[in-house]
Structure 1
Amino acid sequence: MKMPKKWMMTQEWHDLVFMHWPVDRNEMRKYVPAELEIDIYDGKAWLGLVFFKAKKTRPRFLPPVPGVSSFLELNVRTYVTYKRQSGVYFFSLDADHPLAVKAARLGDFLPYRHAQMAMSTTGKRCTFKSRRTNKGSFPESLELSYRVTSHPVDKTELESWLTERYCLWTKPKGQLLRLDIEHSPWKLQYIQGEIENNTMASFLSKNLHLEKPLTHYSKRKKVRFFPPVPEK
């Protein structure tokens, strides 16, 4: 795949955690645009929760905007293909900075919502809390603590399948758009922890809080975003 030559925005992702669950493909089908095929692994679709701290957010040729360049984010996503190209489809993206949410929602390009969030570290123990507060949105929440338990590992085929994805699709105002991203391959570490509360992806019949996820951690990733491209 050949990406546009000029990226439009850059950002750093710090202390990123992936959480994944296998889910029923037919149920997931109901919530994804018809143009996109549900990507499956071993006969299952997968749902991901991903949270991180975004830093140094800035448009091309401009410095970071004070007060908006750093924020916490939690997204809910699944994995899809379009014309044999693999990528991501987002159900929701929560962030804890109102201005960042407002800017990201221009044109209803992506379903960003405001949430109260906190991320902290005490010794080797990390905690993350999020509670969506956006008016008119279901107040989904996530609360967990964890610790990193390994050095970077050699990714399995499934771990690469879940994480090495370099575009997303969205469908604002009826037009399917693709946004490409660019970053180095993931260096993943394993984590162990306890989920205190999880009501994310409440549209699914599956109760994620009752099932243990496949989890990974990455310390830092610099990312570039390219302009959206209409799909034909």
Structure 2
Amino acid sequence: MDCLNHTSHRPWPLVDSRPSWKQYWLDLAFFHWPVRKAQIQATLPDGLEVDTYDGDAWISVVPFRMEGVMMRGLPSIPGVSNFPELNLRTYVKRDDKPGVWFYSLDADQSLAVWAARKFFHLPYFKANMSSVANADGSIHYRSSRECSGASFDGVYQPVGETCKAERGSLEEWLCERYCLYACSKSGKLYRGEVHHRQWPLQKVQYQIDKNGIGEAFGFDLSGAPYCAQFAKKLEVAVWGVELC
């Protein structure tokens, strides 16, 4: 994996073991809203602390497509390795190691939902989803969760040149995250490492017509996001989760 040859931007060194999974993230949009710190902390499991930027906690909605998702060393499987995914996430830390906490992850691939729940303890849900690239370069993204109807419907399009987030900026703080946290049904806390190059970010134009995936957690995200970014493609290495 080429991304493993580019590590100088990481906030901590790569783990010694080889990554377990490989994948690509494509046509990804970040939509971010500031939220009160206390509101986020009340939703987190014991052992996790809400992370803040200038005193604010943040919630992000992230629609994108996954491609080539497979255990490292094995070929991708048509119909299994490629699928849309929609994340609702916030930003946390444990032992001062910053990472991401997922409230929900929607996917339209049943095997991916089952595997992520079983092996990564992540709250994946099966959803009816589509990510359609239009002739003008925009992406029309729709998702409706099968178990609850929680939905997202929006169109977004990159504009301007690709760039990297400035060091110390809000964009860097939100996007450059290299681990995730998860909690098992028994309450055990896990950490999983990820790696990729620095995000190739662009500005993004968007229209969000429906955004209800935060409602189950008490988050009203119906208003316009405070900021947003787009990334066309990123190669990602993923390690298995470990108790922390």
Normalising by structure 2, what TM-score? Answer: 0.89
From 56, 59, 62, give the equivalent of 2:74.
Answer: 62
Structure 1 residues 6 and 206: CA distance shift in structure 2, 3 A: closer
Aligned residues: 228
**Which residue number in structure 1 is paired with residue 160 of structure 2?**
150
Larger deviation, residues 195-204 vs 171-180? 195-204
Measure the CA separation in 2 of the matches of 1:42 and 1:60.
39
1:199 paired to 2:226? no
From 91, 99, 107, give the equivalent of 1:79.
Answer: 91
Larger deviation, residues 97-106 vs 85-94? 97-106
Following superposition, the deviation at residue 187 of structure 1 comes to 1.2
Larger deviation, residues 219-228 vs 138-147? 138-147
Q: Secondary structure at the match of 1:227?
A: strand
**Which residue number in structure 2 is paired with residue 221 of structure 1?**
234
**Which residue number in structure 1 is paired with residue 45 of structure 2?**
33
Q: Check whether the contact 1:27–1:204 (CA below 8 A) recurs between aligned residues.
A: no
Measure the CA separation in 2 of the matches of 1:222 and 1:107.
21
Residues 28-177 of structure 1 mapped to structure 2, 5 A cutoff? 28-106=40-118, 109-122=121-134, 123-134=136-147, 138-156=148-166, 157-172=169-184, 173-177=186-190
User: Which structure 2 residue ranges, 5 or more long, are not aligned?
Assistant: 1-11
Following superposition, the deviation at residue 61 of structure 1 comes to 1.9
**Which residue number in structure 2 is paired with residue 18 of structure 1?**
30
**Which residue number in structure 2 is paired with residue 182 of structure 1?**
195
Aligned alpha-carbon RMSD (Å): 1.5
One-letter code of the match for 1:146?
Y
User: Which structure 1 residue ranges, 5 or more long, are not aligned?
Assistant: none
Q: Secondary structure at the match of 2:165?
A: coil
Following superposition, the deviation at residue 206 of structure 1 comes to 4.4
Following superposition, the deviation at residue 71 of structure 1 comes to 0.5
One-letter code of the match for 1:196?
D
- Structure 1 segments of 4+ aligned residues over 6 angstroms from their partners: none
Q: Check whether the contact 1:4–1:227 (CA below 8 A) recurs between aligned residues.
A: no
Q: Secondary structure at the match of 1:165?
A: coil
One-letter code of the match for 2:37?
R
Q: Secondary structure at the match of 1:128?
A: strand
Q: Deviation per CA, 1:29-79, whole angstroms, max 9, x where unpaired?
A: 111112111000121100011111100111022111332100000011000
Q: Check whether the contact 1:4–1:226 (CA below 8 A) recurs between aligned residues.
A: no
Query: Share of identical aligned residues, percent?
Result: 35
Measure the CA separation in 2 of the matches of 1:210 and 1:6.
42
